[in-house]
Structure 1
Amino acid sequence: MEQIQEMADKLKLLSDGTRLTILALLREREYCVCELVDILEISQPGVSQHLRKLKSYGLVKEDKRGQWVYYSLNVDDQPYIKSVLEYTPNSKAILTAMNKEEITSVCK
C-alpha cells in the first residue's frame, strides 16, 4: 500500500497545471528558475516553490553552477510519470501557446 500512496502523491503533484507545464518543458532541456519565471509569468518565489515540491518527490534534480541552479527532469525510474508526460505538448507548442519565443539560457 505504501507504493500506491507514493504514486498517488506524485500524481497529485501533476494535477497542478504549472507543475505539469514545468515537467513538460523539462522533457527537452534543463531550465534555470529565471527562465521559468519568464515563460510562466509568475514570481520567482512561486516558481521556486513549485520546483521545491517537484524536487522533494524526486521528479526533478538540480545542478548548481556558480550562482545559478539548473533543473532537469528525473523520472527515468518512474514509468507512470513518463507515460503522463508523453501526452503533454512539446516545449515549442507550450511556448507558442503562451506567445513566447524560444527561450535561450539567460543565466550564464
Structure 2
Amino acid sequence: MLQTIMDIEKVALTLKLLGDRTRLTMAGLLKDNECCVCEFVEVFEMSQPAISQHLRKLRDAGIVKERRSGQWIFYSLNKKSERYPLVMTLLNQIPDQQEKLANLEREGKRICCD
C-alpha cells in the first residue's frame, strides 16, 4: 500500500485541531456516522454558534465535509482528504464515541432537525 507523506505543517495543523477535546470528540462521533449541528448541540450542551465554529475549523482543514439537506447541514469525515489516514490513526487510539449518539437516540433526539 502506497502511503503519501504529508507536509509537516499539515500534520501539525491536524494535530492542533484534533488536540481540542471537543473537535476530537466530534471527529470520533463522525467516524462511523454523519451528524447535524443540532445533534452536536445536544451532545456537547453548547450553543449552535460555538459548535459551528468548531465544525468550520475542521471543514476548512478538509477533515470534515458537509452535505446539505434542505435547510440542514450534515457533517461527515472527509475520506478523500490527505489527512484522513492520520485522522483515523488518531481516532483508533481513543475510546469509541458512539454511545453518545446512542444516548441521543434513546432520548429521541438523534435527528432533531428534520
- TM category, shorter: 0.7 to 0.9
Aligned runs of 1:2-17 on 2, under 5 Å?
3-17=7-21
Residue equivalent to 2:92: 86
1:84–1:75: structure 2 CA closer, same or farther, 3 Å change rule? farther
- In 1: Cα distance, 2:35 partner to 2:98 partner: 14
Q: Deviations over 1:20-57 (max 9, x none)?
A: 00000001210000010000111100000000000000
- When structure 1 is superposed on structure 2, of 77-86 and 40-49 the one drifting more is 77-86
Alignment of structure 1 residues 21-100 onto 2, 5 Å? 21-76=25-80, 77-78=82-83, 79-93=85-99, 95=100
Q: Give the % identical residues.
A: 44
Runs of 4+ with deviation above 4 angstroms: none
> Residue type matched to 1:106 in 2?
C
Structure 2 unpaired stretches of 5+: 1-5
- Which structure 1 segments of 5+ residues have no match? none
Shift in alpha-carbon separation, 1:51–1:12, aligned structure 2, 3 A: same
